[in-house]
Amino acid sequence: MNVLVINCGSSSLKYQLINSESEQVLAKGLCERIGIDGRLVYQLAGNDKEITETPMPTHKEAIQLVLDALVNEKTGAVKDLKEIDAVGHRVVHGGEKFASSVVLTEDVLAQIEECNDLAPLHNPANLIGIRACKELMPNVPMVGVFDTAFHQTMPSTAYLYGLPYEYYEKYKVRRYGFHGTSHSFVSKRAAEYLNLDLNNSKIIVAHLGNGASISAVKDGKCVDTSMGLTPLEGLVMGTRCGDIDPAIMEFIAKKENLDIEGVMNVLNKKSGVEGMSGVSSDFRDLQAAYEEGNERAIAAVEVFAYRVAKYIGSYVAAMNGVDAIAFTAGIGENVYFVRRIIMKYLGYLGIEVDDEANVATRGIEGIISTADSKVPVAVIPTNEELAICRETVALI
């Protein structure tokens, strides 16, 4: 079965066509600057990227261009659109309505729309992509896979805020968590890779990318995660501040003469390791600055790693133990010096870094703790598109 996986943002759209039996990517790419001018990137497996500047006034034209590219006589991945058997859509926020993936009926779309307030930047864009696909491929089954669904197993002790309870009742203000598709995929794969019984295991997954979150997965179910109502909570990220004293917002608003949007913009886009270091949000640049002795870059990296280590400690407490720790996403998979700083805090768990393995493990699966480390630490590359493909096949 061939599954088209779509991740639709407000002005961009990423896609992959995956064969579900071989789990091979047949073609992939993205549409950028939708509604502005338009740029299609298309790459047939084993070939170079093709880039075409072409108008895309709306998501519908963008998806039509993707479909045209996929069936193109010379460089298409399939001969006919009939060879696309299903579409799997990433949907950011499923609120409390969706604890698992779901076939996208009109009724379901209406329920997703009801979650728009919780993710005003993402959900409307996801819905536009879904509706455009439905128009262009009316007979192809479509599935929605939610970033929040995996975390719906969290107990209320983990998801309630210390706020007036009526805000939860009236507005569903609570912790939801994100990157759920990745936390689910990586925890399952970590159990497999480390020969653990997923249904009788305690795994901590550190998804460290530009957006970063960490989760505690007990017996295959999420019991806590670091992101909250929005992705701003938790770890220090590329440009997001993560946990701060909320009173800082009022303080900064007064000092810098900012309104609430202005403050939120600072917390989401101007903070994190970029705001701290003044260098970059990218750990390649940060590593160079760190090694040159740039004090702010050193502080940013150290704070980033310390926060991860503190969360790991709190999740060991939440699960009353831990059987394995898995690093994933851009930084977790590639940046050995940050993994080493984090792991140095974990000696009390009997964890020891295998320095050679840690340095050698980049973007591949591998164990980076020593053989006699009490808790194994592994790098497990995430693959959200493949996870969406598998969920889609399972549902249709």
Write out the residues near ligand ADP by the rule CB under 6 A.
Answer: 209-211, 238, 281-284, 329-331, 334-335
Are 40 and 22 in contact, with CB atoms under 8 Å apart?
no
Other Cβ atoms within 10 Å of 47 Cβ, number: 10
Provide the minimum distance between the beta carbon of 278 and ligand ADP in the complex, in angstroms, as a whole number: 16
Report CA torsion sign: 154, 157, 161, 164. Answer: positive
- Whether residue 147 lies in the annotated active site: yes
Tell me which residue has its CB nearest to ligand ADP. Answer: 330
Sort 155 into a burial class: Cβ within 10 Å, 0-12 / 13-18 / 19+: exposed
Select from 282, 206, 273 the least CA-distant residue to 242. Answer: 273
Choice between 76 and 177, CB closer to ligand ADP: 177
Q: Report, in Å, the least distance between residue 108 CB and ligand ADP.
A: 26
CA distances from 345 to 306, 310, 313, 332, 352 (A): 8, 9, 9, 16, 10
Q: Which is nearer to ligand ADP, 150 or 283 (CB)?
A: 283
Q: What is the largest CA-CA distance in the chain?
A: 61
Nearest CB to ligand ADP, comparing residues 347 and 363 = 363
> Of 85, 147, 243, 355, which one is the catalytic site residue?
147
Place of tokens 């001018």: 37
Q: Which is nearer to ligand ADP, 210 or 370 (CB)?
A: 210
For residue 353, the minimal CB distance to ligand ADP (Å) is: 18
Smallest separation, CB 282 to ligand ADP (Å): 4
6 CB-near residues (< 8 Å, 6+ apart):
13, 14, 15, 63, 87, 88, 89, 90, 129, 133
Cβ at position 185, least distance to ligand ADP in Å: 13
For the beta sheet containing 13-19, the strands, ordered from the edge strand earlier in sequence to the opposite edge, are 50-53, 39-44, 24-32, 13-19, 2-8, 86-91, 142-146, 102-103
Q: Closer to ligand ADP by CB, 237 or 324: give it.
A: 237
Looking at the annotation, which residues are catalytic? 147
